[in-house]
Amino acid sequence: MKLATLNNLTRDGQLIVVNRAGTQAVKVPHIAQTMQQALDNWENVAPQLNTVYEHLNQGGLNDAFDLDLDQVIAPLPRAYQFLDGSAYLAHVERVRRARGADMPPSFKVDPLMYQAVSDGFLSHNQDVEVVSEEYGIDFEAEAAVITTDVPMNASVAEAGQCIQLICILNDVSLRNLIPAELAKGFGFLQSKPRTALSPFFVTPDELGSAWRDHKIHLPMRTWLNGEWFGEPDCGVDMQFDFAELVAHAAKTRPLAAGAIIGSGTIANHDMAKGSTCLAEKRVLEVIADGKAKTPFMQFGDDVKIEITDENDHNIFGTIHQKVVKY
């Protein structure tokens, strides 16, 4: 099943069911007005939404309309919680190595995770507004899952059953603000502005065999200013799967329906796969040549992120954003 949110000039938009091709949609106010409303009552709502989805794909709905992606906002325009992990240790190891630090053994058994901005998400094609280029503007191509209610101290198996939807995202980072913030010992704040979500949320079955072991086994493709930047496989070198990340987040507190759990920057040990953020490319340049050559994003630069399957089907839709001066 594929879902999106239509801009109706309200904060939370209007939930729509989208066909598999991402070309047509139908409004479903009789089932749920918003994505959050659907997630709040997912057990009852999901079967009804799926029936609509099946009819839509069969061309059997008179109220279906052609979908204009410019009218689509973030599927969940605001969430009660967004927790972002760092499950790809190839990325963590390289970043630490560049500054002469080893990766602690605990990182292999205890996921890194922080509480990110959730009171608003950028749409898939919305400009990234930044005050200054001196902040070190970077993109981060990630995947994420959206849960129903997760009980406190849920087991990994229980956490996996709470995963209902999947998306990709651009987790914008302001790299030059990070060191001073981390030095305070309280984590990210000013260095992590709003994140962009893909236009579509999909249920795990939409990925077919590419969704297994609570991982996405497909490449995350990224282009910077129209040039190929990287395509590491999301299912390779992921130290902690999504069920483990959700269980980690819920260890001491329950998670409310609509919680978004991010994977962290996608990275493979195979450097030929490229990168999904500028910081990692710069790190690899430091490791190889002693200094970074690639600049961070400048005003006017754009990034494109998507995942396609073996049939070239664009599962989540494309994130394509430009950086502009605020």
- Does residue 20 sit in the same domain as residue 137? no
Separate counts of helices (H) and strands (E) for the chain: 7, 21
- Does residue 208 sit in the same domain as residue 296? yes
CB 125 within 8 A of CB 4: no
Domain boundary among 41, 56, 72: 72
Token pair in block for residue 7: 């801009």
Rg (CA), the chain: 19
- On the question of pLDDT at 286 being above 90, the answer is no
As a whole number, mean pLDDT of residues 200-215 equals: 97
Q: Which residue has better confidence, 302 or 310?
A: 302
At residue 107, the pLDDT reads: 82
DSSP notation for 215-238: EE-SB-EEEETTEEEE--BTTSS-
Report the C-alpha gap between 250 and 189 in whole angstroms.
22
- On the question of pLDDT at 246 being above 70, the answer is yes
Nearest residue to 262 via CA among 199, 325, 172: 172
- Does residue 172 sit in the same domain as residue 263? yes
- Does residue 48 sit in the same domain as residue 114? no
Domain boundary among 19, 49, 72: 72
DSSP notation for 259-296: -EEE--S---S-GGGB-SSHHHHHHHHHHHHSS--S--
- Does residue 49 sit in the same domain as residue 117? no
What are the pLDDT digits (tens) for 104-137? 888 888 999 999 999 999 999 999 999 999 999 9
User: How many independent structural domains does the chain possess?
Assistant: 2
pTM of the predicted structure, to 2 decimals: 0.96
Report the C-alpha gap between 121 and 96 in whole angstroms.
29
What are the pLDDT digits (tens) for 76-105? 999 999 999 999 988 778 777 765 677 788
Provide the percentage of residues in the chain whose pLDDT is more than 90. Answer: 87
- Does residue 192 sit in the same domain as residue 321? yes
Report the C-alpha gap between 189 and 210 in whole angstroms.
34
The parent domain of residue 44 ranges over 2-72
Report the C-alpha gap between 277 and 170 in whole angstroms.
10
